[in-house]
């Protein structure tokens, strides 16, 4: 599995949400030379490709070619694979319609372990999750709040149980 920076993950995730796979606009915090460096690395790894922007459709422009044409950035199949998303099996061109993919956790990861523990009938406590993943308590809470609730859309509930303390579960 390819290791991506947070910025690269954000760029590819945004592209995955666009029907035409366009990776623009880049995050607001990424400007100038830093943007050029990140995009250059992603182009060289094959995660993005430059295609001619369709100005009639209002495609965002990454750079001008000098002959009056603009170039935009489009995520490739390799880019989708790097974020764990699967593009349609048919080759998708930037002008074709493609439905955005939903995010699913990879098997065998700590996040998958967390989800399995929270889906168990008895749920799990912070201490139990810490023991299973090796994470600290703030990382467990952050994963439940960020990755599970916000990114995957799972509903995590908690209740206080006398002999165990606060137990967290994923609602069915």
pLDDT tens digits for the chain (172 residues)?
Answer: 567 888 888 888 888 888 788 888 888 788 888 888 888 888 888 888 888 887 677 777 788 877 767 888 888 888 888 888 765 543 444 444 444 445 566 678 888 899 999 999 999 999 999 999 999 999 999 989 888 888 888 899 999 999 999 999 998 6
Kindly state the tokens that stand for 19.
């029907």
Which H or E element spans position 32?
Answer: helix 32-44
Q: Residue 138's pLDDT is what? A: 95
pLDDT at 127: 95
d(CA 164, CA 17): 41
Give the pLDDT of residue 92: 43
pTM (whole model) above 0.75: no
Compute how many other C-beta atoms are within 10 angstroms of the C-beta atom of residue 9: 13
Q: Please give the CATH number for the structural domain made up of 6-82.
A: 1.10.10
Cα distance from N-terminal residue to C-terminal residue, the chain: 30
Distance CA 68, CA 165 (A): 65
Cα 121 to the center of its chain, rounded Å:
29
Instruction: Give CA–CA dist 65/32, Å, rounded.
Output: 17
| pLDDT of amino acid 79 | 83
Show the CA angle centred on residue 94, arms to residues 92 and 100, nearest 5°: 65
């Amino acid at each position: 599995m390819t290791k991506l920076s947070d910025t690269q993950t954000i760029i590819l995730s945004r592209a995955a949400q666009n029907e035409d796979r366009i990776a623009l606009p880049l995050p607001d915090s990424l400007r100038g030379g830093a943007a050029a460096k990140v995009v250059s690395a992603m182009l060289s790894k094959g995660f993005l490709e430059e295609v001619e922007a369709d100005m009639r459709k209002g495609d965002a422009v990454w750079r001008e070619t000098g002959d009056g044409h603009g170039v935009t950035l489009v995520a490739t199949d390799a880019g989708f694979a790097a974020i764990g998303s699967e593009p349609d099996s048919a080759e998708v061109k930037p002008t074709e319609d493609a439905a955005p993919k939903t995010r699913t956790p990879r098997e065998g990861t700590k996040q998958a372990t967390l989800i399995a523990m929270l889906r168990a009938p008895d749920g799990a406590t912070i201490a139990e999750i810490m023991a299973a993943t090796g994470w600290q308590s703030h990382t467990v809470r952050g994963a439940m709040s960020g990755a599970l609730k916000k990114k995957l859309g799972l509903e995590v509930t908690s209740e206080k149980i006398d002999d165990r303390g606060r137990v967290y579960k994923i609602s069915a």
